[in-house]
Structure 1
Amino acid sequence: MDQISAMRVFVRVVETGNFTRAAKSLNMPKTSVTNLVQGLEAHLSTTLLNRTTRRVMVTTDGALYYERATEILSELDELDGSFSNSQALPSGRLRVEMASIFADSVVIPALCDFYMRYPQIQLDIGVGDRLVDYIAENVDCALRAGTLSDQSLVARKIGELNMQTYAAPFYIENFGMPEHPTDLEGDHFCVGYMKAQAGRVLPMEFRRGDEFIEVLPRFILSVNDSRSYLRAAVSGLGIVMSPLFVVKEAVEKGELVPVLPEWNRDPVPLYVVYPQTRHLSNRVRVFVDWLAKQLQVITRDPAARTGRAKTAELAAVRS
């Protein structure tokens, strides 16, 4: 029996809750997962998991073994990574979650640059702003904006977003230009943004010097996706608050215009988060470092786009 492989499989079964999900996340046959766990139990002469037709429950010995096994595997991965950093390019599959504005405006346009640097990493990008079960879904990390409420996650701040308020000329023609943030609660409409974690439309925050106002916007439409949020604003369905790099093209085309320009929101922090139990592999580290640089460029210079210029070079490298 390969004890290290058996330990990894056992840890995955505990984290996902059953053999089927563990096998799927490891890209292994379910029978192989079952045989490895059974072999580990035979080697240790104890029962680590109690199985029923519906669920898998960790025994007392299993819980103790899981705690020590995760520590040992993490240290082993760290040891391997310390050598691979200098001897080989990081490789393997990387699962990342992020909102559509970051995928569309920041990450995907620049991915040619990333693959030129790290051609052996396979990226799976989940697009959306939703609640994620990092362990069960085998998500390595996620890009999140704003205040973090899940204390079980490790967070690394990698940037900030400067926000401004915009509306379509069609909307201004019909409802006029708001003069104060409180107008958004009565005489005007906004597009509501509903985060899955909150389950409600988020308030809009405004600051002018030392003056701070939180507004509960009046809306006829709310969405839970940043791409739809922008499209609704361009369609004249209400006022939105967005980073400049997201709306830059629409502003240049005359589809959106700034409103309440003397009022701004405090910068919104950007974090990469991952579960405490998940070892931060070398491929995650290089992706996070690369992503931080892309965000710094795009938030400082919204016109910057690196992906298209690199496409021909990437094709030459891969050929």
Structure 2
Amino acid sequence: MFNRFQAMVVFTRIVETNSFSRAAVSLNLPRASASNIIKSLEAHLRVRLLYRTTRRINLTAEGAQYYERCVQILSDLEETEYALTSGASGIHGTLRINLPPAIGRTVIVPRIHEFCSMYPQVDLRIGFSDRRVDLVQEGIDCAIRVGLLEDSSLIARQFGHVEMLTSASPRYIQRHGCPLEIDDLPRHFAVHLLSGSGRNLDFNFVRNGHAAEIRIPGTVAVSDVDAYIRCGLDGMGLIQVPAFMVREHLRSGELLEVICHHRPQPIPVSAIYPANRHLSSKVRAFVEWAGSLFENYLKPQANAVHRRRTATSHLAGMPTPYSADADTRTPVT
């Protein structure tokens, strides 16, 4: 018997992923089944919905109109189901999320057992990537992103802003001195973090109420935040990182905060999801749960600030800050 509801779900997922194969995988269906469902749907409606080529899938005029109505109907259905079964027992199905590795390791994964206990009928699939994944094309229900968002077609819920800081290891300061002011930085070395496009991300500082980007020389650039922090710990250069990711290193003295009076600009942390899934009970449950976790990391850590070791409190017996007449230093290798 022809299942119109299933056909609508398959059709919308094919349009969103622009692929029969990706849609089938995201819905746990054989590819042949997805193709047959669309054929049955077109026969049922007596119109052609899709033009298929070797590279793309294009909507016909009727297909575009049907897609818009399907998205609205499925969203209305999700909203109705959530209103009637808003308890944990009513939330079920596969939920695909994507996390930056450092955020996943530090914030989400240590507590993910709690989410699974709260929602035992949710089949959770977690991917880790620092690259800007295409949620729609890859069939991802929800992602957490750190930084400014670029894709306005997605729905976003901002959790707050991450406190950033600039730090160096005692080993680095012993070899190169401690930068005390922003103007000292061009004469120092940095470990560079690569953006998704492969560009070195400049350091930034808030000075006189305005954010300013500063380029600092360096010989090492990495695309992974954990590797970036490791390089900083090994004395390979200055690093700028979210404070909560290096909190233990600061408490132990493995890293020291520098230029404390000019912090980097805080960066936003957000959950993002495709517009047609903004009412999904699974997505809503995960976003609310993740948001509660981030409250502990995004609030100013007043007590931690007093315990945090800064370079200026650690300089006894160390080299004086670099001066213009001492330019014989080389980067750590």
Q: Structure 2 length as normaliser, TM-score?
A: 0.84
CA distance in 2, matches of 1:239, 1:8: 50
CA–CA distance in 1 between the matches of 2:155 and 2:7? 27
Q: Partner of 2:160 in structure 1?
A: 159
Secondary structure of 1:113's aligned partner: helix
Q: Which amino acid in the other structure matches residue 73 of structure 1?
A: L
Structure 2 counterpart of 1:235: 234
- Counterpart mapping for 1:1-319 below 5 A: 1-86=2-87, 88-184=89-185, 186-196=186-196, 198-208=197-207, 210=209, 212-300=211-299
2: distance between equivalents of 1:98 and 1:16?
Answer: 20
Distance 1:30 1:282, change over 3 A: same
Distance of 1:160 and 1:18 partners within structure 2: 36
Q: Distance in 2 between matches of 1:96 and 1:8?
A: 19
Structure 2: tracts of 5 or more residues without a match:
305-333
Q: Which amino acid aligns with 2:12?
A: V
Residue by residue, what CA displacement relative to the aligned partner does 1:105-150 show, whole Å, maximum 9, x if unpaired?
Answer: 1111112222232222232222221121111211111111222222
Count of residue pairs brought into register by the alignment:
302
Moved more, 53-62 or 219-228: 53-62
Alpha-carbon distance in structure 2 between the residues aligned to 1:65 and 1:157: 32
Deviation at 1:103, TM superposition (A): 0.7
The CA distance in 2 between the partners of 1:279 and 1:27, in whole Å, is 21
Larger radius of gyration: 2
- d(CA) in 1 for partners of 2:20, 2:85: 31
Contact 2:162 2:297 in 1 (8 A): no
Asked if the contact 2:71–2:276 (Cα under 8 Å) also holds between the matched residues in 1, the reply is yes
**TM superposition shift of 1:294:** 0.9
TM-score scaled by structure 1? 0.88
- Residue 253 of structure 1: CA displacement? 3.2
1:63-119 superposed Cα distances (whole Å, 9 cap, x missing partner): 221121111111112112211214834222222222222111111111222223222
Q: Which amino acid aligns with 1:123?
A: L
Any idea what SS the aligned residue of 1:23 has?
A: helix
- RMSD, matched Cα: 2.2
> For residue 286 of structure 1, what is the amino acid of its counterpart?
A
Distance 1:268 1:279, change over 3 A: closer
Letter in 2 for 1:179: L
1:6, distance to aligned residue in structure 2 (A): 0.9
| Amino acid across the alignment from 1:248 | R
Q: Secondary structure at the match of 2:76?
A: helix
State how far apart, in whole Å, the 1-side matches of 2:46 and 2:193 are: 54
Confirm or deny: 8 A CA contact 2:191 2:219 kept in the other structure.
yes
> Does the Cα contact within 8 Å between 1:95 and 1:125 map onto a contact in 2?
yes
Cα pair 1:248 1:302 within 8 Å, conserved: no
- Shift in Å at residue 267 of structure 1? 2.3
Letter in 1 for 2:92: S
